[in-house]
Structure 1
Amino acid sequence: MRIAVIGAGAIGGFYGAALSSAGQDVSFIARGATLEALRTHGLRIIGEQTLTLEAPATDDAATIGPVDVVLICTKTFQVADAAHTYLPALMGPDTLVVTTQNGVQAPFVLEKIIGREHVAPGVCRVWSKIAEPGVIDLMGGPKSLVAGTWDDAVTPVLSAFRTALHEAGIATTDTTDIWTELWTKVIHVVPQGAVGALLDAPLGQLLERHLPLYRRAMTETADVARAHGAHLPDDVVETTLGFVAGQDPTSTTSFQRDITAGRPSEFAAQVGAIPALGDEVGVDTPVNDVIAEVLGLAEERHRRA
C-alpha cells in the first residue's frame, strides 16, 4: 500500500523505516536538516536494530499525491499546521490519517480539518530518539502501533494497514475500542511527564519518594478516562505502576524533557488538557489542576523568553 509519513523524527522515522523495509511504498515529508539528511544519506536506524535505507523524501506533498494511509508523526501542537499544509494533496476518498501523538487531542484536531471518517486514532509505543537528523536511535520498547477508526469500524484500508504492520514486525492488535487504547496510554504517559516535570524527577524518584502524588495524578486521569467512556479495569493504576516499575529508573518522558529545557512542549495536549476534560464530564482533578497551573506558567514564561 502507499503510505506517507509526515515527520521523519523518532516516531515517524522508525515506523516509516519498518514499513518501507517490509516492502510498502513509503514516502516521507520532512523539512530543513532532516530533509537534507534523508536526501543525502537516506534514513538510518541505530541502536537495538541497524538499518539504512533509501527514503523518498520531500517537502511538497503534491509530488507524492493521494495515498492509502498517512502517518502524522509531528508534535501535537504541529498537527493542525501539518494537516492544512500537506493533507489536501495526500487525501483520496478512502485515505486514513493515523495519529501517533500522546493524549486524546490530535484526533479531534484532525476531525475539524478532514472529517472523522478519515481519522484513524493511533497508539504507538516505542522507545526511540533522534540521534541526529535522519538518524533514529532505537532503544527498545514494545515497538507497537495500534490503530482504529473513529467508530471502531473496520474498513478495507484499515485492514490492509494492520496487515502491513504485522508484515513489518510491528506489534499491533485488531482493537475494537481504540479510545480505550488511547486513554490507557494517557494514564501511562501523562502523569509521569506531569509529575516528573513539576518536580524535575526521573521515573525512579516518582516511584519512591513521590509515589503518593504520582498515584493521585494517575488515579484522577483514570477517573476522567472512565467518565469519557474508556473501559478500564479497576486495577488500571496499580497495573500501570507495576509496568513502569520495570522500566529504566532514570527515564523521563519527551514532554518532561521539552518543558524543563524550555522547548515548545505538548503541554496543552497532555496535563494541560486533563482539567478541562474532567470539567466536561463532572470529574474533579485537584492534583492535575495544580500541576497544570504550575507547568502552564512555566510554558508561558518560555514562550515569552
Structure 2
Amino acid sequence: MRILVIGAGAVGGYFGGRLAAAGRDVTFLVRAGRAEQLRRTGLQIKSSQGDVTIQPKLLLAAEISEPFDLILLSTKAYSLDAAIDDFAPAVGPQTAILPLLNGMRHVDTLVARFGEAAVLGGTTRIVADLDSEGIVHQLGTWHDFTCGERDKSLSPRIERIDATLRDCGFPTTLSSDILAAMWSKWMMLSSMAAITCLLRGSVGQVVAVHGGVETVQALIAESSAIATANGYPQTPEFLAQHTARMTQPGSALTASMFRDLQKGAPVEVEHILGDFLSRGQAHGVETPLLRAAYVQLSIYSVSLGQK
C-alpha cells in the first residue's frame, strides 16, 4: 500500500515516521523549505516510546504524477484548503483519504471535494510538538490511532488499511463507529482547549487556585451536553476519566491550542470551538464558559489577521 502523508509536522511526522521506520511505503508531501530541512537532518522523532530517525521519501506538490492508495491527512484546520489543492492530483478512483484533524467540519469539506466514498474517519490521541529545528517531540505517553468507515461497515479496504497500520510502534484500533470516537475526541479536546486557553494555564495551575476545579467541571459538563444533544452521549466512565485527567494536581498538561497561543501562532478556533458551539446552539444548549473561550480566542485570531 502506497501511503502519502500530507506534511511532516508533529502528528503527520510522528505517525508517518513510525510507519516508514516499520517498513511501510510512505512518502511525505511537503513544501520546499521543509523538504530541504528533512534532506539535511532526516525526520527525527524524540519519544518516550523510542526515538526514530529516518531519511524520508519526499514529494513536492508539483511532482505528483500518479494516485496513491492512502492519503494520511493531519494538517491544521486553517491549512486544509491549501493542502487539498496540493494533494488533489494524488487522489484516484480507489484512493482512500484518512483525516486525523479534530472536529467534524473537515469531513464535510473533503466529501464536497472528493465524494462520500473516498473519505474515511479517523482520530488520534497524542500530544506532540515540532521544535524550531524540525524535530518531532512526543509529549507524554499517548500515541494511539483509530480509524474506520463512516458508515460503520467493515469493508475490505478498511481491513487492509488496518493491517498496514498495525505493528508499527503505536496502538491502533479499527472502530465500528468512528464518528462516535471522533465526537469523544472533539468533546475532550474542546473542553481541554477551553480550560487551558480561557484560564491561561496548565491543568495543574488551574486546579491549584480557588474555583479552578469547579470551573473545569463546568466546562466539561458544557462540552458533554453538546455531544449528547448531537446524539453522542459520553459514558460515565469516559467522563470520569477525562475529569480526573483535567483535575490532576500538578499536571503540566495543556491543549495544543494553548501551546500555539503561547507561541503567537494561528489557532484552530473556528474548526474546534466555533463549529462545536454552533452544533450545540442548533439544539438549544447553553454554554457560557465555552462561548467565553471562543470569543477570547477569536479576538486573538483577529489580532493575527487570521480569518
| Global fold match (TM > 0.5) | yes
- Between 1:231-240 and 1:250-259, the stretch displaced more is 231-240
Amino acid at match of 2:52: L
The change in CA–CA distance for 1:137 and 1:235 in structure 2 (over 3 A counts) is: closer
Q: Work out whether residues 213 and 247 of structure 2, in 8 Å CA contact, stay in contact via their aligned partners in 1.
A: no
Which runs of at least 4 in structure 1 moved beyond 6 Å after TM superposition?
none
Task: Determine the structure 2 residue equivalent to 1:195.
Answer: 195
User: Match of 2:166, SS?
Assistant: helix
Task: Determine the structure 1 residue equivalent to 2:56.
Answer: 55
Task: Determine the structure 2 residue equivalent to 1:86.
Answer: 87
Task: Determine the structure 2 residue equivalent to 1:255.
Answer: 257
Amino acid at match of 2:73: I
- Between 1:14-23 and 1:275-284, the stretch displaced more is 275-284
Q: Work out whether residues 144 and 171 of structure 2, in 8 Å CA contact, stay in contact via their aligned partners in 1.
A: yes
The change in CA–CA distance for 1:214 and 1:171 in structure 2 (over 3 A counts) is: same
Q: Work out whether residues 274 and 288 of structure 1, in 8 Å CA contact, stay in contact via their aligned partners in 2.
A: no
Counterpart Cα distance in 2 of 1:223 and 1:116 = 28
Q: Work out whether residues 124 and 144 of structure 1, in 8 Å CA contact, stay in contact via their aligned partners in 2.
A: yes
User: Match of 1:167, SS?
Assistant: coil
Q: Superposition pairs for residues 155-194 of structure 1, below 5 Å?
A: 155-194=155-194
Task: Determine the structure 2 residue equivalent to 1:66.
Answer: 67
Amino acid at match of 2:175: T
Task: Determine the structure 1 residue equivalent to 2:118.
Answer: 118
Amino acid at match of 1:161: I
Task: Determine the structure 1 residue equivalent to 2:127.
Answer: 127
Identity percentage over the alignment?
Answer: 26
Normalising by the residue count of structure 1, what TM-score does the alignment of the two structures yield? 0.91
Counterpart Cα distance in 2 of 1:284 and 1:219 = 11
Shift of 1:291: 2.1
Question: CA offsets per residue over residues 177-228 of structure 1, 9 Å max, x none?
Answer: 1111111112222212122112211111233432222221211111111222
Task: Determine the structure 2 residue equivalent to 1:100.
Answer: 100
- Between 1:281-290 and 1:216-225, the stretch displaced more is 281-290
User: Match of 1:124, SS?
Assistant: strand
Shift of 1:248: 6.8
The change in CA–CA distance for 1:208 and 1:179 in structure 2 (over 3 A counts) is: farther
Counterpart Cα distance in 2 of 1:223 and 1:61 = 45
Shift of 1:103: 2.1
The change in CA–CA distance for 1:36 and 1:142 in structure 2 (over 3 A counts) is: same
Amino acid at match of 1:55: P
Counterpart Cα distance in 2 of 1:277 and 1:190 = 13
Amino acid at match of 1:230: Y
- Between 1:33-42 and 1:238-247, the stretch displaced more is 238-247
Amino acid at match of 1:123: T
RMSD: 2.1
Select the residue among 258, 268, 271 that pairs with 1:266.
Answer: 268
Counterpart Cα distance in 2 of 1:23 and 1:64 = 23
Q: Work out whether residues 192 and 246 of structure 2, in 8 Å CA contact, stay in contact via their aligned partners in 1.
A: no
Counterpart Cα distance in 2 of 1:247 and 1:94 = 49
The change in CA–CA distance for 1:32 and 1:248 in structure 2 (over 3 A counts) is: farther
- Between 1:212-221 and 1:56-65, the stretch displaced more is 56-65
Shift of 1:40: 2.6
Number of aligned pairs? 303
User: Match of 2:75, SS?
Assistant: coil
Q: Work out whether residues 142 and 171 of structure 1, in 8 Å CA contact, stay in contact via their aligned partners in 2.
A: no
Task: Determine the structure 2 residue equivalent to 1:214.
Answer: 216
User: Match of 1:66, SS?
Assistant: coil
Normalising by the residue count of structure 2, what TM-score does the alignment of the two structures yield? 0.91
Amino acid at match of 2:107: P
Amino acid at match of 2:265: R
User: Match of 1:303, SS?
Assistant: coil
Task: Determine the structure 1 residue equivalent to 2:230.
Answer: 228
Amino acid at match of 1:197: C
Task: Determine the structure 1 residue equivalent to 2:76.
Answer: 75
The change in CA–CA distance for 1:182 and 1:61 in structure 2 (over 3 A counts) is: farther
- Between 1:278-287 and 1:265-274, the stretch displaced more is 278-287
Counterpart Cα distance in 1 of 2:83 and 2:282 = 28
Q: Work out whether residues 29 and 61 of structure 1, in 8 Å CA contact, stay in contact via their aligned partners in 2.
A: no
Amino acid at match of 1:222: S
